[in-house]
């Protein structure tokens, strides 16, 4: 029988700490994951998905209306200032105010709604309430809710975004 020659306590040995490192790392990762799940709002799951499904036909009807009116828009940005150029078929009156909605694809808390006021000759202007960068879903609507234009916008792009109503969508 061999006797242990060193009299160091267990916590001064290397092997117990090496064996405990894995479970300790898992516990720490679990706490961090729980904290992230509780504090962040993903905004991807909606509780009224059935009502949203029923509203799809109304949304499509507004897209078809924009197509029949021949409405097109160019969205331009300079810093926090937004500018629209709206074109429509001959004889179609454009409203004095429009609503520009910017929706972030994954973070609903960053969504913005910008009131656009007419400057004349189809131009509208408004101001952003926060910083925008990356990809955004853009929607332009008239105040009466009769028509809508929508599309995807890369906010970092220097080129204006052209929105055209597509009746086939």
Which pLDDT score is estimated for 169? Answer: 46
Indicate which CATH number applies to the domain containing 151. Answer: 2.60.40
Same domain, 80 and 25: no
3-state secondary structure of 97: strand
Which pLDDT score is estimated for 16? Answer: 93
Residue 115 lies in a domain: yes
Residue 83 contacts residue 125 (beta carbons within 8 Å): yes
Rounded Cα gap, residues 54 and 49, in angstroms: 9
Residue 49 lies in a domain: no
Q: Of 66 and 32, which is predicted with more confidence?
A: 32
Q: How many domains does the chain have?
A: 2
Which pLDDT score is estimated for 92? Answer: 83
Mean pLDDT of 136-140: 89
Q: What share of the chain is helix, strand, coil (3-state, %, to 5)?
A: 30, 30, 40
SS (H, E, C) 123-154: EEEEECCCCCCCEEEEEEECCCCCCEEEEEEE
Q: Of 95 and 31, which is predicted with more confidence?
A: 31
- Token pair, residue 100, equals 């520009």
Enclosing domain of residue 100: 72-164
Residue 102 lies in a domain: yes
Residue 51 lies in a domain: no
Which pLDDT score is estimated for 142? Answer: 86
pTM, two decimals, is 0.64
Which pLDDT score is estimated for 25? Answer: 97
**In terms of DSSP bridges, do strands 135-141 and 123-127 run parallel, antiparallel, or are they unpaired?**
unpaired
Residue 117 has pLDDT above 70, yes or no: yes
């Amino acid at each position: 029988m061999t006797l242990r020659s060193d009299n160091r306590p267990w916590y001064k040995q290397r092997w117990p700490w090496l064996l405990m490192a894995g479970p300790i790392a898992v516990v720490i990762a679990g706490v961090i994951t729980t904290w992230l799940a509780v504090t962040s709002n993903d905004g991807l799951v909606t509780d009224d998905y059935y009502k949203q499904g029923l509203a799809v036909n109304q949304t499509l009807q507004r897209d078809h209306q924009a197509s029949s009116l021949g409405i097109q828009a160019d969205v331009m940005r300079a810093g926090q200032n937004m500018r629209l150029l709206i074109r429509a078929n001959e004889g179609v009156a454009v409203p004095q105010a429009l609503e520009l909605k910017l929706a972030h694809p994954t973070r609903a808390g960053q969504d913005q709604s910008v009131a656009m006021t007419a400057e004349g000759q189809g131009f509208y202007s408004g101001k952003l309430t926060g910083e925008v960068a990356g990809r955004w879903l853009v929607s332009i609507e008239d105040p009466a809710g009769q028509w809508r234009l929508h599309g995807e916008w890369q906010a970092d792009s220097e080129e204006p975004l052209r929105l055209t109503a597509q009746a086939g969508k």
